[in-house]
Structure 1
Amino acid sequence: MTDPARGATGLRAALSTLGGPPRFLLLSSFLIPLGSFMVLPFMSVFLHERLGMGLGTVGVVLAVASLVQFSGGVVGGALADRIGLRRTMLAALVVRTAGFVGLLLALRWPPLAVGALVLTCCGAALYLPANKAYLVHGVDDEHRPAFLSAGNAALNAGMAVGPLIAGPFVLSSPGRLFVAVTALFVLVTAGHARLPEAKPQPQPQPEPQPEPGARAPGRGLLAGPAALPFAANALAFYLYFHFQHYLAVYAVDRASSGFYSLVLLLCFTLVIVVQPLAAQWIRRLPYAVALTAGFTGLAAGLAVLAIGTRAALLAGGALITLGDIVLFLKNDLEALRRSRCSDAQVFGRQRLAAGLGACASGVLGGQLYRLGEQAGNTGWFWLLAAAQCLLLPPLLLILYRRTTRRPGPHGPDEGALTPHDTNGRVPGR
């Protein structure tokens, strides 16, 4: 893939340029998911067993919360453009802290839990685009992959450690757990209040006016050069969330909840270790090659899961994670490169794509998994998901090429997927 020593050297060189505020943001990128994942992964158990909600109701609540958490990133990006990155992060953390206070109060009044959960997801939706944009603010294209991958590594480390700390206390002492998480968010919010405001970005140059009767490129989410990274991100999250949503019930049935935790720990560790080392290699990959490699890794991992043994669960999780390492980072980098919007809006739109994909996976994947259970062979669910990894990306490219404006007399279409446009920025950015 890439020389680990060279990747580590490049990563150290890039991170050595970090000042105090970005270093604090990287620490926050660990602490915030640490606190969140001390609570959120157990919400289905908490809502069902502690608060007495039916599983059907729990499923609807979690689907709505997930959609809000991902898709609300568009609002977060727009808010960051209006009031600034630091203020947006502060507002998001205040909202999220209020959500955890609401979960604490829900121990006395259970109906409050639904609104509190949605509130925490609103905070996450507002925070992440501004966080990522602040982290790469003023950073050149060469160093952006290292900074983004370091942020992703910190986030995944927090996601891995949080459930290990909180697992014994979710049902036995949820009040103390919610108090501890709330206190952590209060401290992180206070730290963000001391961050300097990011200097305004240079305004993007105006787009060329289209010819009379021609469709203007770049208008809307599914038009122009940034359409493909948006659609590819939605598809990648749709396929990945087959694994995210349904591995638990599949793995626990064949192994144990402890072994399922081990699989998740392996996946988190791979992201933490491999993505920063491979970041520059991923940046240099032509976009078409990155999509091919990423979706092929997903397909291989999902197919291996169908075997159902413990070794297959570990190997499948590893392959899926390696595919996602390429897809998720490359789609973000390509969206930044192609779009004329601010960085915060780009990250917000990519989060929207992730939310749409995750929601579709929850709806369609759930029906398919239920059919597999009824047929007595859930292994077919993973094989069908693997087949989609191989069939849907080519259909995506075909649809994209048909809806993209063809080269005209004034030059090639700036939305085309060509080898020479894989390492620069779209003119005007």
Structure 2
Amino acid sequence: MGRGTGRGPRPRAGLAPLVGPLRFLLLSSFLIPLGSFMVLPFMSVFLHERLGMGLGTVGVVLAVASLVQFSGGIAGGALSDRIGLRRTMLWALIVRTAGFMGLLLALRWPPLAVGALILTCCGAALYLPANKAYLIHGVDDERRPAYLSAGNAALNAGMAMGPLIAGPFVLSSPGWLFVTATALFVAVTAGHARLPSTGDQPAAPGTPRQGLLAGVALLPFAANALAFYLYFYFQHFLALYAVEQASTAFYSLVLLLCFALVIVVQPLASGLISRMPYGLALTVGFAGLAAGLAVLALGTRPALLAGGALITLGDIVLFLKNDLEALHRSPRSDAVVFGQQRLAAGLGAFVSGVLGGLLYGLGERVGDTGSFWLLAAAQCLLLPPLLLTLRRRVVRRHDPHDYDEGALPHHDTDRRIPGR
């Protein structure tokens, strides 16, 4: 699967000259979230204001949709193993296009809206593991961080542009908005149909099927779940806090800063993050989250900007490093590994939404929402050491000669897991 051999001169890290299919895939990594984020960030407003759903119902619908979109990635990875990467991406886009068509029809028949939203999330769940695996198929270890970072930068650029384009039209002209998003997905789907069948090597008939979590890299899986759990305190509840402390316009500015940092910083820092020992990366990443969440508690406009920046820098390290370590440690295919990591992300985000909602509501009732962020920051300092302590105890119990989880060299080919 494109791992380095450890012999001869190593290729220079970074992006090699990209062939047409990879350029198209990176362009798609921008266009797909562009189309999605022209619609999805406004779904709470659309469902409540346009379709008349109660806020309690809207909250349940969005929670289920988020869980499907993240955790369903494990099914996308498994499907890629069965039918191949290109076919999985193609079917995922067909499903997602049908979802956006359903949202358009929901303007005439509102009950379709919930099913259409879930359908778009199913398509996203199936697509992303195959997309990432296709992007790095046949790529040497030294270049993988750069390719993944380029994909993440394109993704965040689309996520940043979508709401800016759609904001003025979401309530006044949602029909045209849904038509535009659907047309964009039709075009991207047609382009994927012309991609080479790279990685389309489905399992041979009679091959034993492995469980969805077989071969999971436990520490990267758990660390990813914890990282998303803590990050989604910021993702879920910053809007409420920022609008209260500043304004909706300033909240949009904070989001733009966060997107810009991912787009610019992660590709530049990808090599450094790849070389960083895993224990150090976890320390740096969770410390960034802790510092950013604590700064948010000040509640001033500069604090909102600084807190958002620190949190984003922390998640840049955590999210990329956890993926790289999972790829390195697991014997499963790249698509399955990405799917397992998406499952971890979904579980963390879901728990954050449920528990965070209770805690933020408590802060509102006592008139001190700043304490919510201090409590989240404290968890960033207390939970990661507990995770590492529990992991070391498990490792010692099962294999006292196993390596140190915090100091695994990423390119030590003599200690690679067989089959990778």
TM-score (norm: length of structure 1): 0.90
Q: Which residue of 1 aligns with 2:289?
A: 298
1:206-221 aligned at under 5 Å gives the runs 221=213
Q: Which residue of 2 aligns with 1:79?
A: 79
Cα separation, 1, equivalents of 2:24 and 2:235 = 29
Q: Which residue of 2 aligns with 1:340?
A: 331
Cα separation, 1, equivalents of 2:406 and 2:63 = 38
Q: Which residue of 2 aligns with 1:316?
A: 307
| Count of residues paired in the alignment | 402
Q: Which residue of 2 aligns with 1:256?
A: 247
Verify: 1:422 aligned to 2:413, yes or no: no
Q: Which residue of 2 aligns with 1:412?
A: 401
User: Helix, strand or coil for the counterpart of 1:404?
Assistant: helix
Residues 215-250 of structure 1: CA distance to partner in whole angstroms, max 9, x if unpaired? xxx9874x8771000000000000000000000010
Cα separation, 1, equivalents of 2:272 and 2:308 = 22
Cα separation, 2, equivalents of 1:239 and 1:284 = 24
Q: Which residue of 2 aligns with 1:137?
A: 137
Cα separation, 2, equivalents of 1:219 and 1:111 = 35
TM-score (norm: length of structure 2): 0.92
Verify: 1:376 aligned to 2:367, yes or no: yes
User: Helix, strand or coil for the counterpart of 1:158?
Assistant: helix
Relative to structure 1, the CA distance from residue 226 to residue 113 in structure 2 (aligned partners, 3 Å threshold; closer, same or farther) is same
Cα separation, 2, equivalents of 1:77 and 1:220 = 9
Q: Which residue of 2 aligns with 1:49?
A: 49
Q: Which residue of 2 aligns with 1:362?
A: 353
Q: Which residue of 2 aligns with 1:211?
A: none
Verify: 1:276 aligned to 2:264, yes or no: no
Relative to structure 1, the CA distance from residue 353 to residue 225 in structure 2 (aligned partners, 3 Å threshold; closer, same or farther) is closer
In structure 1, what residue type is equivalent to 2:382?
Answer: L
In structure 1, what residue type is equivalent to 2:401?
Answer: P
Cα separation, 1, equivalents of 2:193 and 2:298 = 50
Verify: 1:95 aligned to 2:86, yes or no: no
Q: Which residue of 1 aligns with 2:69?
A: 69
Cα separation, 2, equivalents of 1:46 and 1:232 = 35
Q: Which residue of 2 aligns with 1:194?
A: 194
Relative to structure 1, the CA distance from residue 219 to residue 288 in structure 2 (aligned partners, 3 Å threshold; closer, same or farther) is farther
Deviation, 1:254, is 1.1
Deviation, 1:19, is 1.2
Q: Which residue of 2 aligns with 1:20?
A: 20
In structure 2, what residue type is equivalent to 1:67?
Answer: L
Cα separation, 1, equivalents of 2:15 and 2:279 = 28
In structure 1, what residue type is equivalent to 2:402?
Answer: D
Deviation, 1:404, is 2.3
Relative to structure 1, the CA distance from residue 119 to residue 275 in structure 2 (aligned partners, 3 Å threshold; closer, same or farther) is same
Relative to structure 1, the CA distance from residue 407 to residue 367 in structure 2 (aligned partners, 3 Å threshold; closer, same or farther) is closer
Superposition RMSD in Å: 2.0
Amino-acid identity (%): 80
User: Helix, strand or coil for the counterpart of 2:14?
Assistant: helix
Relative to structure 1, the CA distance from residue 12 to residue 192 in structure 2 (aligned partners, 3 Å threshold; closer, same or farther) is farther
In structure 2, what residue type is equivalent to 1:413?
Answer: D
Deviation, 1:256, is 0.8
List alignment gaps of at least 5 residues for structure 2: 1-10, 204-209
Are 1:224 and 1:404, in contact at CA under 8 Å, matched by a contact in 2? Answer: no
Relative to structure 1, the CA distance from residue 395 to residue 171 in structure 2 (aligned partners, 3 Å threshold; closer, same or farther) is same
Cα separation, 2, equivalents of 1:73 and 1:250 = 30
User: Helix, strand or coil for the counterpart of 1:264?
Assistant: helix
Residues 25-55 of structure 1: CA distance to partner in whole angstroms, max 9, x if unpaired? 0000000000000000000000000100010
Q: Which residue of 2 aligns with 1:121?
A: 121
Are 1:34 and 1:161, in contact at CA under 8 Å, matched by a contact in 2? Answer: yes
Deviation, 1:201, is 6.9
Are 1:406 and 1:412, in contact at CA under 8 Å, matched by a contact in 2? Answer: no
User: Helix, strand or coil for the counterpart of 1:349?
Assistant: helix
1:220-239 aligned at under 5 Å gives the runs 221=213, 226-239=217-230
Relative to structure 1, the CA distance from residue 302 to residue 347 in structure 2 (aligned partners, 3 Å threshold; closer, same or farther) is same
Q: Which residue of 2 aligns with 1:212?
A: none
Residues 335-384 of structure 1: CA distance to partner in whole angstroms, max 9, x if unpaired? 00000000000000000000000000000000000000001010000000
